[in-house]
Amino acid sequence: MLSEYLQNIVIIVVFAAVILAIAFDVIDMLLAALLGVSILIIFGIFQQRDILNVTRSAGGPLALLFGGMVVARVLVPTGIFEYVGSRYVLLTRGSGKRFLLSLFLLVGPLCAVLPNATTVILLAPIIIRVARTLQISFIGPMIITAIISNSAGLLTLVGDPATFLVGSAIGMTFLEYLQRVSLGGLLTVLVLIPLMPILMRDIWRKEVSLPPDLHPEPLLRPYLCLFALAILLLMVALFIAGEMLPSRIVPPAVAIIAASLGLLLVYEAKVDHVTDVLKDVDWRTLLFLITLFCLVEAFAKTGVIQNMSLYLHAWFGTQFLFVCLFILAFVGLCSSLLANIPVVAIMLLMIKGYLVSSQIVPETALAANFHDWPTTTLPIFIAMMFAGTLGGNATLIGASANVVAAGICATQGQTISFATFLRYGAPLMICQLLTAALYVLGLHFFLQ
């Protein structure tokens, strides 16, 4: 086994090589990630316990994606995507500007009740259809959809797993979140709107004349659609209330239940084969996400994030404002290249350690169930929520919704490269983090 020092070097080199290979499109991105994981296995760096850790951290998100993909696929033969898509086209009146603005109205509320990537999966067929009718590329709108869905996760405590992780760790209630964080989350979504005419100039200016005889397309199988929507509604209801049931049903389990019911519907209605539905699941995207989680698990072992946090006290003392700004930048950067859940989980422990070292809280604050955080420390945790969630908007691999959006585009014959996503994502993320910084700044002085 390599020493810790050598292990860290191998991990960082492999991680950087995979990112660069994906960024410069040297080889297929799934292959790059798989090769990276293979190298870590060969060097004995990635072990059984790491796989168990990945299973723990990635199982939930992957189950959510699988469930979303199956439910979306079950809806296809009902004709609902054509129906909603044609209505959406009529709503835009041929205007690209109206198309983009209505995306915000459509995605935001949906993300309040559905996981980000699931929202992207369900809306993608509609968005692609509208884009084609408006004679514009669907790449930009799909990227924006992923970014809005990630950002809208900040609207409520349960909107994003990373937000929920931080919130529950500090004992923040749903209502407290609405009072202290939701406004900031809304601002980070709204700040995207004035950037649309700049980043999506062609779409923003696009005006096409819709055929005068354009009418909403009828549903192909109304009854099937009714049952499928009932499954979707049950899924939404369980997402919201599942954890309050006597037998707790967590969101990933809800997704699996909904997928099973969807497959049962397909089987009974005999409109499709179960095998065909499963074939259409985007396994490639799921596999890519698993490998990304593996690489993140390995990267966490390097202690880079832990080291940074240990230096916080030496660098900033108890100047919380600077700590907040540092976290926004550092976690934002980490989260743009790593899955945000593990980043936030490590950072959370380290921030607790920083506050203990700074003697702001007693050592028992390191315990998972410590909730007696002084109000003045809240901006630090809130900065972490913003950075963890918004950081993922910068790159293709920053969030599962981004990977899913790219996967869907690929199945439709258009590739979202790392560079393409970065061109839209990076400026948007920077503007969002600046907005978040202003909000956290205000909150800091208000709570002082």
Partner 1 sequence: MPKERARLWLRWFIVVVGFGILQGLPGQGLAGHILDMVRANGKVRVGVSEGLTGFSWKDAQGQWQGLDIDLARAVAAAVLEDPNKTTFVEVTSTNRFPVLLAGKIDLLLRNTTYTFNREAAMGILYAGVYFHDGQGFMVPAASPIQHLGDLNGATICFAQRTTHERNLADLLTSRGWTYTPVPADDLKELQDLFFSGKAQVMTADRGQLAAIRAQAPGGPEAFRLLPEVISEEPLGAVVRAGDDAWFLIVRWVIFALIEAEERGITQANARTILTTSTNPADKRFLISDGLSEKTLNLKPGWVLRVIEAVGNYGEIYERHLGKDSPLKLERGPNRLSKNGGLLYSPPFR
Which part of the chain contacts partner 1 (CB under 8 A), choosing from 3-11, 103-111, 269-277, 405-413? 3-11
Could you say whether residue 28 binds partner 1 (CB under 8 A)? yes
CA distance 93 to 98: 8
DSSP lists the bridge partners of residue 207 as 95
For the bound state, the minimum distance from the C-beta of residue 375 to partner 1, rounded and expressed in Å, comes to 20
Are 258 and 63 within 8 A, CB to CB? Answer: no
Could you say whether residue 169 binds partner 1 (CB under 8 A)? no
Which part of the chain contacts partner 1 (CB under 8 A), choosing from 4-12, 75-83, 99-107, 156-164? 4-12
Name the residue nearer to partner 1 (CB basis): 143 or 350.
350
Could you say whether residue 367 binds partner 1 (CB under 8 A)? yes
CA distance 65 to 281: 9
Classified as helix, coil or strand, 207 is strand
CA distance 106 to 111: 9
* 24: its two tokens: 């410069």
Name the residue nearer to partner 1 (CB basis): 54 or 231.
54
Are 447 and 386 within 8 A, CB to CB? Answer: no
For the bound state, the minimum distance from the C-beta of residue 403 to partner 1, rounded and expressed in Å, comes to 19
* Binding residues for partner 1, total number by CB under 8 A: 44
For the bound state, the minimum distance from the C-beta of residue 313 to partner 1, rounded and expressed in Å, comes to 7
For the bound state, the minimum distance from the C-beta of residue 31 to partner 1, rounded and expressed in Å, comes to 6
Are 218 and 83 within 8 A, CB to CB? Answer: yes
* 220: its two tokens: 């192909």
Which part of the chain contacts partner 1 (CB under 8 A), choosing from 141-149, 256-264, 300-308, 378-386? 300-308
Could you say whether residue 326 binds partner 1 (CB under 8 A)? no
What residues numbered 32-51 form the site for partner 1, per CB under 8 A?
34-35, 38-39, 41-42, 44, 46-49, 51
Q: How many residues does the chain have?
A: 448
Window 343-362: contact mask with partner 1 (x via CB under 8 A): ------xx-xxx-xxxx--x
| DSSP string covering 88-154 | HHHHHTTBHHHHHHHHHHHHHHHHHHS-HHHHHHHHHHHHHHHHHHTT--SHHHHHHHHHHHHHHTT
Q: Which residues here bind partner 1, judged by CB under 8 A?
A: 1-5, 7, 27-28, 31, 34-35, 38-39, 41-42, 44, 46-49, 51, 303, 306-307, 309-310, 313, 349-350, 352-354, 356-359, 362-364, 366-370
